[in-house]
Amino acid sequence: MAELQLLSACGISRRFGGRTALEPCDLDLRAGETVALVGPNGAGKTTLLSILAGALDPSTGSVERPVAIGWAPQRPALYGKLTPRENLELFAALAAAPAAASDLPDRPAAELSVGQRQRLNLALALLGSPPVLLLDEPTASLDAERREELWNLLAGVVVGGGAVCFVTQNLEEVDRADRVGLVEDGWLSFE
């Protein structure tokens, strides 16, 4: 029985003017797997994830997304004047998903700590329980307890037949992945 592909990218690349940020590459995410993307700063990891999420068009190639995608960019995409609850309600309405509860403070998102903004960013990615999660440095601003909560939640997504692809600079987190992709100078390779 063939593994269910939840996302498939074929020959995707990205140029910004005369600079190539991502060389042509292929990447498939299959049900029940976790993929880590590692590499130096500026290597093309965020560009790759942004293309997979549909937030950035590839210069070449295509991405098939037959299922819903949850995306948490490296820089939280929040409305700073809205509270966490208001952000969740707004994004839930846009996604036609039920709003999630928040235990974050009831003040504008711009006034939250970096870790609290990251938690809100992740909560937005999880709205509607998408089967594919694309997470750019999801644990970078989280304390140890919140990191463990996140990994437990992501393990549940994978066990439930979803897929997770995350970018990390923390090599300890690579052990949580079924496959590891190295992005270097715009090239993606798997070992």
Domain total in the chain: 2
* Amino acid at site 67: V
Residues 94-113 pLDDT 10s: 888 888 888 889 999 999 99
What six digits make up the tokens of 90?
A: 């707004």
Same domain for 140 and 58, yes or no, is yes
Same domain for 85 and 169, yes or no, is no
Same domain for 86 and 178, yes or no, is no
Q: Does any domain span residue 51? A: yes
Same domain for 90 and 135, yes or no, is no
CA dihedral 170, 164, 73, 62 (to 10 degrees): 120
Residues 129-179 pLDDT 10s: 999 999 999 999 999 999 999 999 999 999 999 999 999 999 899 999 999
pLDDT at 2: 52
- What is the spatial order of strands in the sheet that 5-16 belongs to? 19-30, 5-16, 60-64
Determine the structural domain holding residue 92 and report its residue range.
Answer: 78-125
Q: Does any domain span residue 73? A: no
Q: How far is residue 32's CA from residue 4's CA, in Å, rounded to a whole number?
A: 9
pTM: 0.94
DSSP labels, 31-76:
TTEEEEEE--TTSSHHHHHHHHHTSS--SEEEEE--S-EEEE-SS-
Same domain for 162 and 183, yes or no, is yes
Asked whether 132 and 163 are in contact (CB, 8 A), the reply is yes
pLDDT at 125: 95
Q: What is the CATH number of the domain that holds 31?
A: 3.40.50.300
* Amino acid at site 72: A
Please count the helices (runs of H) and the strands (runs of E) in the chain. Answer: 4, 9
Same domain for 184 and 158, yes or no, is yes
Q: How far is residue 161's CA from residue 91's CA, in Å, rounded to a whole number?
A: 24
Same domain for 96 and 111, yes or no, is yes
pLDDT at 61: 98
Q: Does any domain span residue 72? A: no
Where is the domain boundary, 105, 125, 145?
A: 125
Q: Does any domain span residue 164? A: yes
pLDDT for residue 71 is more than 70: yes
Residue 1: pLDDT band with limits 50, 70, 90: very low
Q: Does any domain span residue 107? A: yes
CA-based nearest residue to 157, from 94, 69, 54: 69
Asked whether 163 and 7 are in contact (CB, 8 A), the reply is yes
